[in-house]
Amino acid sequence: MASFNCPLPLPHHHPPPTPPQAKIPTRPETMANHWQLKLSWFNPHQSFHHLSKKYGDIMQLKFGSFPVVVVSSPEMAREILQTHGETFASRPATAAGKYTSYNYSDMTWAPYGDHWRLARRLYLNELFSPKRIDSYEYIRVEERRALMSRLYAHSGKDIVIREELTRFTLTNVSRMALGEKYFSESGTDRSSSRVKLEELKEMVDEWFLLGGVFNIGDWIPWLGFLDLQGYVKRMKALHKKFDRFHHDVIADHKAKREADKDNFVAKDMVDVVLQLADDPHLEVKLSSDGVKGLLQDPIAGGTDTSAMTVEWAISELLKQPQLLRKATEELDRVIGRDRWVEEDDIPNLPYIGAIAKETMRVHPASTLLAPHFSIEDCKVAGYDIPKGTTVLVNTWSIGRDPRYWEEPKRFLPERFLGKNIDVKGHHFELLPFGSGRRMCPAYRLGLKLIQSTLANLVHGFMWKLPENVKPKDVDMGEEYGLTTHRKIPIVVVVKPRLSAHLYV
């Protein structure tokens, strides 16, 4: 394990009275803190939170050979993501980016530069623009109703809700980004897909887990060839699986384009990326791996976060049934019992919106935003941060800051009612999608999926825990990765509360 140098206390609010060229001070940490950090290493956001209580909102750690700065307050997050946004807009070169994202060819791990700009422009214009998102609403409606029908068929039985939510979001994103589902959902499915739904879900889960691991070789390069934790071996195996999947998708789209070449019109993101790859005037030449990298983020990144957030929300509502009753009362009053909730209804459901925001405060999808990386020397809060420093923004800690949140450990949706706090990167005390240049380009779609799915699940069903499980017994432990899931998927029992014909 990489050694750590723990920082001296740093200021919470104001730069200290130090000389202009002062470095962020460090000293060896105590043995007690060292082992505390190691024992909870699989949830590093919690370890960093405890350290920030002692050492301040901005602190420097030493991971092996490299400096790492952790920021844990809205003020410091604003400094990194907005004030000095361009300086910290790059990514560190990790094994995950190399082996699971086509040598940093996707937008998540791409360094700041021309390829990243192309990727962001593509996502914002071709997949996640407001107009494009609205045009795909029919897909979300169809898949949401299919989800409700599947839950209806299992009413009264124990259900692992994560499995259904992941299937729902994966199908949505596949249809929106790739034009259709490229996986088979059952043994009788005779589609041309070569990958099964369960396998693709496992691939997505593995991608997020490996994207968030602290790989020894990233921090102590001379040990990298040993692959002591076995992570690189797993990354290479995952790369092969995704490569087969992307090859099938691309081959299918090329065949369709060739069959209709005289009248071909790009219908989805794959078509657009393939056209860009053929453009001789494109400022960034796209290789075969570059094309696959650009296709990977929507499938991997667009699937997990929404499903995970809804699962956390359901978990919190089951722990506090009175909150579930309030949400149900609002839905009955605004929607009635003769129809499903539409996306246009969401602005009229403030309590549902408040539950979604409170879930993203307490359980941010990315507890540590994907790491930022300084491309030049920079001064933050009176301290010099050198070029080549990795910076982690601890959104989990920010969401528990008592200076901004009253009773921060309580799940209390009412705190958002009547408050103008959004999750679009403008309010740095709530950053589930990040902010600035590296903000998630799919945040609009993510919000629509989270809010409309949660609203319809609460509207359509009565929710209970299995027999002999009490609300206080629900385990809310976390499993860290690039996103942070429930450690133990929650098991639920649902019963319909609307007319039977709505579920067919």
* CB neighbourhood size of 24 (10 A): 22
Count of structural domains, the chain: 1
Question: Which residues sit opposite 196 in a β-bridge?
Answer: 184
**79: its two tokens:** 């400094």
Ramachandran class of 265: left when φ > 0, alpha when ψ lies in -120 to 50, beta otherwise: beta
Closest residue by Cα to residue 102 from 278, 256, 291: 291
Whether the CB-CB separation of 144 and 451 falls below 8 Å is answered with no
Is there a contact between 219 and 90 (Cβ–Cβ < 8 Å)?
A: no
Angstrom CA distances, 243 to 95, 109, 196, 200, 488, stand at 17, 17, 15, 12, 30
Helix axes 443-460, 288-319, angle to 10 degrees: 40
Q: What is the distance between the alpha carbons of residues 315 and 323, in angstroms, rounded to a whole number?
A: 11
What's residue 32's pLDDT?
35
For residue 7, give the H/E element and its range. strand 5-7
Length of the chain: 504
Cβ proximity of 404 and 410 under 8 Å: no
Strand order in the sheet with 158-160: 158-160, 491-496, 461-464
Among 132, 131, 139, 207, which residue's Cα sits nearest to residue 168? 139
Quick check: 418 and 128 in contact, CB under 8 A? Answer: no
Residue 477 backbone class (left: φ over 0; alpha: ψ -120 to 50; beta: rest): beta
- Rounded to whole angstroms, the Cα distance separating 450 from 353 reads 9
Write out the chain's pLDDT in tens, 504 residues.
333 444 333 333 333 333 333 334 443 333 334 333 443 446 899 999 999 999 999 999 999 989 999 999 999 999 999 999 999 999 999 999 999 999 999 999 999 999 999 999 988 988 889 999 999 999 999 999 999 999 999 999 999 999 999 999 999 999 999 999 898 876 555 555 578 999 999 999 999 899 989 999 999 999 999 999 999 999 999 999 999 999 999 999 999 988 887 788 888 889 989 988 888 888 888 889 999 999 988 888 778 889 999 999 999 999 999 999 999 999 999 999 999 999 999 999 999 999 999 999 999 999 999 999 999 999 999 999 999 999 999 999 999 999 999 999 999 999 999 998 999 999 999 999 999 999 999 999 999 999 999 999 999 999 999 998 999 999 999 988 888 999 999 999 999 999 999 998
Q: Residue 438 belongs to what domain range?
A: 5-503
DSSP 8-class letter at 127: I
Q: What is the pLDDT of residue 36?
A: 38
Query: What does the radius of gyration of the chain's CA atoms come to, in whole angstroms?
Result: 23
Q: State whether residue 160 is helix, strand or coil.
A: strand
CATH number at residue 67: 1.10.630.10
Are the beta carbons of 37 and 31 closer than 8 angstroms? no
Q: Answer yes or no: are the C-beta atoms of 349 and 334 closer than 8 Å.
A: yes
In a 3-state reduction of DSSP, which class is residue 423? coil
192: left (phi over 0), alpha (psi -120 to 50) or beta: alpha
**97: nearest Cα among 297, 273, 272, 286:** 297
Question: How many CB atoms are closer than 10 A to CB 12?
Answer: 15
Q: What are phi and psi of 67, to 5 degrees?
A: -80, 140
Distances from the Cα of 54 to the Cαs of 46, 303, 315, 394, 408, in angstroms?
Answer: 13, 37, 31, 15, 18
Contacts of 134 (CB under 8 A, 6+ apart): none
3-state secondary structure of 428: coil
- Helical (H) or strand (E) element with 272: helix 269-278
State the Cα–Cα distance between residues 217 and 276, nearest whole angstrom: 35
How far apart CA 103 and CA 122 sit, in angstroms, is 19
Task: Say how far apart CA 290 and CA 494 lie, in whole Å.
Answer: 44
